[in-house]
Structure 1
Amino acid sequence: MKKVESVLFDFDGTLCDSQNFIHKSFCVTLETHNLSFPSWEEFLETCHGTALVEAYQALTGRDNVQDLCKTHRAFQNEHARAVGLFSGVRETLTRIQQCGIRMAIVTNRGNAVHETLAHTDIARFFETVRNVENAGGLQKPHPRMLFDALAYMDTDPSCAIMVGDMREDIEAGKAAGMNTVVAVSYGFTGKRITEHNPDHVIHDIHELLEILKT
Structure 2
Amino acid sequence: MTALRLVIFDVDGTLVDSQSHIAASMAAAFQAEGLAVPPLPAILGVVGLSLPVAIARLAPDLPGDRLARMVEGYRQQYFALRVGTEASPLYPGARAAVETLAAADDTLLGIATGKSRRGLDAILETHALGSHFVTRQSADDHPSKPHPAMVLAALSETGVAPENAVMIGDTEFDIEMGRAAGVRTLGVTWGYHAPDRLAAADAVIDSFASLPAAVDRLRGG
Normalising to structure 1: TM-score of the pair? 0.90
1:182 equivalent in structure 2: 186
Equivalent position SS for 2:13: coil
Q: CA deviation at 1:169?
A: 0.7
Q: CA deviation at 1:134?
A: 1.9
Q: CA deviation at 1:35?
A: 2.2
Is there any run of 5+ residues in structure 2 with no aligned partner, and where? none
1:54 equivalent in structure 2: 53
Q: CA deviation at 1:153?
A: 1.0
Normalising to structure 2: TM-score of the pair? 0.87
1:14-25 alignment to 2 at 5 Å?
14-25=14-25
2:203 equivalent in structure 1: 200
Residue by residue over 1:113-145, the C-alpha shift from the partner in whole angstroms, topping out at 9 and shown as x without a partner, is 11011101111110121011022xx01110001
Q: CA deviation at 1:164?
A: 0.5
Distance in 1 (CA, whole Å) between partners of 2:121 and 2:70 is 21
What is the RMSD computed on CA atoms of the aligned residues?
1.8
Distance in 2 (CA, whole Å) between partners of 1:96 and 1:86 is 16
Counterpart AA for 1:63: P
Counterpart AA for 1:198: A
Q: CA deviation at 1:54?
A: 2.9
After superposing the two structures, state which structure 1 stretch, 103-112 or 34-43, moved more: 34-43
After superposing the two structures, state which structure 1 stretch, 84-93 or 60-69, moved more: 60-69
Question: Match for 1:213 among 209, 213, 216?
Answer: 216
> Identical aligned pairs, as a percentage?
26
Question: Match for 1:120 among 122, 127, 134?
Answer: 127
2:163 equivalent in structure 1: 158
Q: CA deviation at 1:193?
A: 3.3
Distance in 1 (CA, whole Å) between partners of 2:69 and 2:9 is 30
Conserved 8 A contact 1:185-1:193: no
2:177 equivalent in structure 1: 172
Distance in 1 (CA, whole Å) between partners of 2:213 and 2:3 is 13
Count of matched residue positions in the alignment of Structure 1 and Structure 2: 208
1:67 equivalent in structure 2: 69
Residue by residue over 1:147-181, the C-alpha shift from the partner in whole angstroms, topping out at 9 and shown as x without a partner, is 11111111111111110011111111111111x21
Conserved 8 A contact 2:14-2:188: yes
